[in-house]
Chain A
Amino acid sequence: MKKLLTIAATLGLMCTGSIAVQASPQQDLKAFRSYFAKRFPDVPFQEFANGVYAIDKASRAQWESIEEFPPYELSVDKGKALFEKPFKNGKTYASCFRNGGIGIKQDYPYFDTASGEVVTLEGAINACRVKNGEKPLGWKKGKIADISAYMAYTSRGNKINVKIPSDPRAIAAYEQGKNFFYAKRGQLNMSCADCHQWNAGNRIRADLLSPALGHVTHFPVYRSKWGALGTLHRRYGGCNKQVRFKPFKAQSPEYKTLEYFESYMSNGLKLNGPGARK
């Protein structure tokens, strides 16, 4: 029995190894896009930035009326004030980012070849605070979501441009995120892809499952369910709980690499965050 298990495990390793060799991120991206293009032939590519509202006329009207008086507007204003308020040392967030932090979200997350890690926008915001002698903010909501919302707002219309440098560690980070996306987990034994790729557009009870293509465009997001703004990793945690899996922490390597994979898969879509969702 033990021997059989070892053989099975070895075979499994060999398979994952060969997949990693066969499909490059570029090939994955092409396949991912064409999958959704075929699944939703009437939805133009850029429309995927609107999530379920790209594929469901009934809820779209309701969403558009919510967007007339956006529930995240106050957060963007608060985020702007926080972003511009100098730290105790006199510097501001602008000092930590390219172009003073304006209109740059499309480059996030990126792989930092110096540290060998994926850097998310929220990660960079807190790194900037720590570098300037301030305490880091909580990761999932509140001030960090406000600041991130403001930075997203200044990046609206910019096309997601996540790069995977030819560094084996970057490829490994991408592969980790990809494996997370396709791996089944939790008591309900479901992968991200089970719902958001293979069943995108289908209904789970009365709820429409959103296509994974475009998932990241509108974060941070105001969810009616939360009654507030939250980050992408907050949403990941909620999703994992729904399949009865103990969520990873926000900004854990697991969620950072998942964000890396998902963002890369949405390359070319225009950012439209912060957004409003159910």
Chain B
Amino acid sequence: MRKFPGILKTASSVLAIAGSLALLPVTGNAAEAQTASVTEQGKALAFNRKKGNCLACHQIEGGKLAGNIGPPLVSMKARFPDKAKLRAQIWDATRANPNTIMPPFGRNKILSEGEIDKIVEFIYTL
């Protein structure tokens, strides 16, 4: 009984996504604008004290009054060739080091999965 509405819901979301994709113009410029805006959204989330508040501990280019508890966020592509590892670190840093002071943003639902995705996109540009 419970599965049926679930399937319906999934089916309808798939349809909705397909629908919105169909409506999206797929020109290069628009795609770039889309990426830029995700990065910007990620930056806003990263700098927001009530959200990522990354500046509490990390220096980030463009951020003021950053803390120095964690390492400065630079050369992120070199430090995390695998973007998934960067995401995992933000999602739950205690898996790599149980003693870390870094909050487990995903595990403790400090940020939503979507918010983490956007922050990862931003951090990966640094």
Residues on A close to B: CB < 8 A? 187-190, 194-195, 198-199, 202-206
User: Judging by beta carbons under 8 Å apart, are A206 and B103 in contact?
Assistant: no
Cβ–Cβ contact B103 & A202, under 8 A: no
Say which size band chain B's interface belongs to: 10 to 19
Q: How far is the CB of A4 from chain B (nearest CB, A)?
A: 17
Known: A188-B110, A189-B108. A204 touches B103 (CB 8 A): no
Cross-chain pair count, CB within 8 angstroms: 37
Tell me, in angstroms, the Cα distance from A199 to B102 when the chains sit together.
12
Interface of B, secondary structure class, is loop
Min CB gap A36→B, angstroms: 17
Inside 8 A of A198's CB, which chain B residues have their CB? Answer: 99, 101
The answer to whether B101 and A195 touch across the interface, beta carbons within 8 angstroms, is yes
User: Does more than half of chain A's interface fall in helix, strand or loop, or is it mixed?
Assistant: loop
How long is the Cα–Cα vector from A187 to B55 in the complex, in angstroms? Answer: 18
For residue B35, which residues in chain A have a CB less than 8 angstroms away from its CB? none
Q: List 30 A-B contacts (CB under 8 A).
A: A187-B103, A187-B108, A187-B109, A188-B103, A188-B108, A188-B110, A189-B94, A189-B104, A189-B108, A190-B101, A190-B103, A198-B99, A198-B101, A199-B69, A199-B101, A202-B68, A202-B69, A203-B66, A203-B67, A203-B69, A204-B56, A204-B57, A204-B67, A204-B69, A205-B55, A205-B56, A205-B66, A205-B67, A206-B65, A206-B67
- Give the shortest distance, in Å, between A206 (CB) and chain B (any CB): 4
Cα A195 to Cα B67 in complex, Å, equals 12
- Please state if A205 and B94 are interface contacts (CB–CB under 8 Å): no
Residues on A with beta carbons closer than 8 Å to the beta carbon of B108:
187-189
> What B residues does A203 contact at CB under 8 A?
66-69
Closest-by-CB residue of A relative to B109 is: A187
Chain A residues near B103 (CB, 8 Å)? 187-190
20 more contacts with CB within 8 A, not counting A189-B103, A199-B101, are A187-B108, A187-B109, A187-B110, A188-B110, A189-B94, A189-B104, A189-B108, A190-B103, A198-B101, A199-B69, A202-B67, A203-B66, A203-B67, A203-B68, A203-B69, A204-B57, A204-B67, A205-B65, A205-B66, A205-B67
